[in-house]
Amino acid sequence: GENVEQHPSTLSVQEGDSAVIKCTYSDSASNYFPWYKQELGKRPQLIIDIRSNVGEKKDQRIAVTLNKTAKHFSLHITETQPEDSAVYFCAATDSGYSTLTFGKGTMLLVSP
C-alpha cells in the first residue's frame, strides 16, 4: 500500500517568514495529493490540492509543488501569520483512488 512520509514534525517560524513542509510517497500510481490544516479538536480542512498532471499550484499565500519523478510534494506558505499555526497533513491516494494515506503531520507555530 501507499506510504507517506512528512517532514518536519514541528516547525517554528516568525510572522512574515515562509514555511515549507515536505512529503514523499511510495506508490507511483498515486495521482492526487491534498494538504489539510487541522486545528486542535477540529476536523481537517482542505487548504490546497494537486494532481499528478500538474507540477505546481498556487492559491494566494499557499502553494504546492509536485515532483512525480522523485515522488515528493511540498507545501509552501509565504508571509506566515499567527493564525496559520496548526497541524498540517499531506496525503496521497492509493492506486485505486479510494483511500487517503496521511503523513504524520507537521505542527506549525508562527510567532508574532
Partner 1 sequence: GAVVSQHPSWVICKSGTSVKIECRSLDFQATTMFWYRQFPKQSLMLMATSNEGSKATYEQGVEKDKFLINHASLTLSTLTVTSAHPEDSSFYICSARSGTRGYGYTFGSGTRLTVV
Contact window for partner 1 (CB under 8 A) among 19-27, 39-47, 65-73, 75-83: 39-47
Closest CA to 84 of 97, 92, 93, 75: 75
Write down the least CB distance from residue 24 to partner 1, Å. Answer: 15
In this structure, are residues 84 and 64 in contact, taking their beta carbons and an 8 Å threshold?
A: no
Residue 71 has φ and ψ, to the nearest 5°, of 55, 50
Q: Does 85 bind partner 1 (CB under 8 A)?
A: no
Closest CA to 62 of 49, 71, 44: 49
Nearer to partner 1, 21 or 105 (CB): 105
Chosen residue from 37, 44, 108, 110 binding partner 1 by CB under 8 A: 44
Nearer to partner 1, 13 or 100 (CB): 100
In this structure, are residues 70 and 55 in contact, taking their beta carbons and an 8 Å threshold?
A: no
Could you list the residues that contact partner 1 (CB under 8 A)?
32, 34, 41-46, 49, 51, 89, 93, 97-105, 107
